[in-house]
Chains A and B, each alone.
Chain A
Amino acid sequence: MSAELLLQASGLGKRFGAVVAAADINVGVAAGERVSLIGSNGAGKTTFVNMITGYLKPDEGEIRFDGRDVTALSPRDITHLGVARSFQIPQLCAELTVLDNVLVAMACHARRLSAWQPARRADALARADAVLERFGLGSQRARRVAELPGGVRKLLDIAMAMTGTPRLLLLDEPTSGVSAEEKFPMMETIMTALGQAPIGVLFVEHDMDIVMRYATRVVAFAGGRVIGDGDPAAVLGADEVRHHVTGHLQ
């Protein structure tokens, strides 16, 4: 089984002083799986995502991606192995245009930076436009990111993560800060862009309707520990998860 897993986190632990942010986390993700990470604020979801992407180094445990130990690698090296992420607060180049943000993403992913080739050459522009169209951002291409509304920024953030060839995509609260009416269209756009590609997706989410519709598996966190892992209906129906995550009294 483990040989088929794209991502395998084993015994991950992380402390910030006396605060236990993660303890004995064991989570595996297979190619093509859509795994939702749920939990209340401070449960350890983002810490887990940050450890997978190399932003935080775990105090204990090991992370393997495609069979390779990536525990000590930098975010950049992990990205080049095929792990992409978006952020809860979109991390964009605010003074650049939407188009330039995508061109930056494409240039970084391609690892063929040139001091001679124009960034806005025709083939790069065509590819960038195609990415923008796929995410419904074509009409925004010339706008500065600083002028964009929150939902558009979220989409652009995710579009940038997907300009490379990710095999594992981590979305940190893709619908946070987005109005209720925009949440499902946004998720539809993302899922349509993902299509049938065998990409493992881990997404942190607080909206259980979103989780139920788009996740094939749910991992529930509480107090830095995994308290549930499996079929969405089964995990969300478990008493401990209902108590810690969805707020229902036992």
Chain B
Amino acid sequence: MAVVVNVSPAPDAGTRAKDAGRSRLLLGGLGAFALLAVAGWFGPRWLTFLVTMAAANGLVSLGIVCLMRGGVVPFGQGMVFAVGGYAAALIYNKLGFTDALGLALAGGALAVAVAAPFAPLLARYRGIFFAMLTLALSMVTYGLLMKMDALGGSDGFNMSRPTLLGQALPDAHAGYVLYLVTLGIATLMAVLARIYFDSTRGLITLAVRENELRVEYLGGSARRAMMLNFLIAAFCGGLGGALAVMSLGHIDPNFSFWTTSGEFVFVAILAGWQSVAAVFLSSVALEVVRSFSSAYFPNSWQLALGLFLLFVIRFLPRGIGSLWMKRDRT
């Protein structure tokens, strides 16, 4: 009698179930995108800009959630955010490549290229050591950007309006088109993230968080899992940086400052690690709280933000995503 239990797989049923799940996911993504696209058309400009920035920043936090699922929290995602932003702005200004989609992809790719050499090192560390190492990298990046006159030093530099698929963006609707581009990319990344989280690699990431030793004794590689997550997080961060700079039209070293990284962590903690949608909702919540707090309590908006986070940690320790995610849905 064999120890390994070989049960005849049911590929048809499995494929059908997988396809049904994927179809629902895709439809959900498309539905959310369509809804927001319509809302953006009718909404005020300040709101579309706010959601655009929330979606761009949410991408960085999505990367952090990717790492959080493996049990580590990076405090230096500002580095990849800045690399993505600077890459897009420099490619635009120096190389004359102006397509928004291409610039976003280039931002993500260059962030991965910059992060990749550090991935094997960081994959060895956990807990506070991982957090501090990533923070150190972001602060080194900040220091370098501050000192490099070619990149505008502490003032940074401007970037003009990008094009989309060879078409110049109309003055009246440039903000709305960038809103759609950012939302489209964020939706796509959210769908891909859900697929990844539910995959075998996603499950191994959760197992690494729970019991790294056992994963190794079962033949899995905890370091490989963490390296992959770090690179995915870098891509998300770079993408977010590129999209943010296209909407802002300006970049400076503050993209890599530790408080910027802290805001991304804030959103990730607020969201929890279960739900992808919660990441973007949390990012919108942060932007809303920040905007209204700045308006009504100009010198103490951080206080409102802190109280908000305290409330969430006290009453929703697994993040707002736990409100609608089943406990066993991992």
**Cβ < 8 Å to B, chain A residues 73-107:** 74-76, 79-80, 84-85, 91-97, 100-101, 103-105, 107
Which residues in A have their C-beta under 8 angstroms from that of B133? none
Which residues in A have their C-beta under 8 angstroms from that of B202? 115, 119
B307 at the interface (CB under 8 A from A): no
B219→A118 contact, CB < 8 A: no
CA distance A232 to B208 in the complex (A): 40
A122→B328 contact, CB < 8 A: no
B219→A76 contact, CB < 8 A: yes
B10→A122 contact, CB < 8 A: yes
Ranked 6 nearest A-B pairs via Cβ: A195-B1, A123-B9, A122-B14, A93-B210, A108-B220, A108-B218
Partner of A107, one of B1, B6, B203, B330: B203
A126 at the interface (CB under 8 A from B): yes
Residue of A nearest to B207 (CB): A104
A121→B14 contact, CB < 8 A: yes
Residue of B nearest to A83 (CB): B217
Which residues in B have their C-beta under 8 angstroms from that of A76? 216-217, 219-221
Which of A3-11, A157-165, A219-227 faces chain B?
Answer: A157-165
The DSSP consensus for interface residues of chain B is helix
B206 at the interface (CB under 8 A from A): yes
B3→A162 contact, CB < 8 A: yes
Interface residues on A, range: 35 or more
B23 at the interface (CB under 8 A from A): no
A148 at the interface (CB under 8 A from B): no
Partner of B210, one of A96, A120, A163: A96
A16 at the interface (CB under 8 A from B): no
A96→B207 contact, CB < 8 A: yes
B204→A108 contact, CB < 8 A: yes
CA distance A161 to B216 in the complex (A): 12
A114→B218 contact, CB < 8 A: no
Which A residues fall within an 8 A CB radius of B?
53, 74-76, 79-80, 84-85, 91-97, 100-101, 103-105, 107-109, 111-124, 126-127, 129-131, 134, 142, 144, 160-166, 193-197, 199
Residue of B nearest to A193 (CB): B3
Which residues in B have their C-beta under 8 angstroms from that of A160? 214, 218
B210→A95 contact, CB < 8 A: yes
Query: Could you list 29 examples of A-B contacts with CB < 8 Å?
Result: A75-B216, A76-B219, A92-B214, A93-B210, A101-B207, A103-B200, A104-B206, A104-B215, A104-B220, A107-B200, A107-B204, A108-B218, A111-B219, A113-B204, A114-B201, A115-B195, A116-B196, A117-B18, A118-B195, A122-B13, A122-B18, A123-B10, A127-B6, A161-B218, A162-B3, A165-B3, A165-B4, A195-B2, A195-B3
A131→B199 contact, CB < 8 A: no
